[in-house]
Amino acid sequence: MNATSVRISSLALVASAAVALFVTGCSDDSGSSPAAPVPSSAKAGPAAPAAKSIASVDGKAFDAKFTTTCAKQGGTLALALTDTENGSYGNLSVSATITDADTVQAVAIAGSKGGDNGLPYAVGFGNGMPGGSAKVVKDGNTYKVTGEGIGGPDLANPLAGPKSSKFDITFACATIVGA
């Protein structure tokens, strides 16, 4: 295994942990938000479809029950999806950090299991790091982050180097703490 693949794998795990620590205690389960009461004098119109937090890598959606956490501090928006009891990936975390200028600074997708050869699962992107790209599209409090990141190395074939993986993540924020 070369130093670059170790750095990239470490980046994914560190970014995921940093976002998780940043938003600890500020989580919001987007699937269980109560609806606001409608005054009896208001006419009910067609309801807009509720956005749902989802994530996929290389076109394969994660089968997960995500809790969505969204927090803003200064010019940085931290977004996180967590499923602490995922059958395939164990403790699964999907996170992104975005600046006010709508620049994706980092994306981390990590699972405590589910990677190649029994290793933890990891895909990451870091702005300014070689390999990968990411962009964000905002629609209200829903953020769609798409791009390409670097996955964890395959220790069975260390000379192959890190592989790239395409990601597509929707963070549906019921609220944004600090906004």
Q: What is residue 137's predicted lDDT score, i.e. its pLDDT?
A: 96
Q: How confident is the model at residue 50 (pLDDT cuts 50, 70, 90)?
A: low
3-state helix, strand, coil in the chain (%, to 5): 15, 45, 40
What is the rounded average pLDDT of the residues 137-161?
A: 88
* 44, pLDDT greater than 80: no
pTM check: above 0.85: no
Closest CA to 29 of 47, 48, 57, 52: 52
Dist CA 146 CA 136 (whole Å): 7
pLDDT at 80: 98
pLDDT for position 43 = 38
Q: Using CA of residue 57, residue 62, residue 55, residue 125, what is the dihedral sign? A: negative
Residue 6 predicted with pLDDT over 80: no
What is the pLDDT at residue 153? 74
pLDDT, tens digit, 9 for 90 and up, residues 64-90: 999 999 999 999 999 999 999 999 999
- The pLDDT of residue 130: 84
16, pLDDT greater than 80: no
Q: What is the mean pLDDT of residues 148-163?
A: 83
Most confident of 19-23, 84-88, 129-133: 84-88
Question: Residue range 94-109: average pLDDT?
Answer: 95
| 148/153 Cα distance (integer angstroms) | 16
Would the pLDDT of 22 be above 60?
no
**What's the rounded mean pLDDT across residues 156-160?**
80
Average pLDDT over residues 36-44: 37
The number of residues making up the chain comes to 179
Buried b (16+ CB within 10 A) or exposed e, 127-152: eeeebbebebeeeeebbbbbbbbbbb
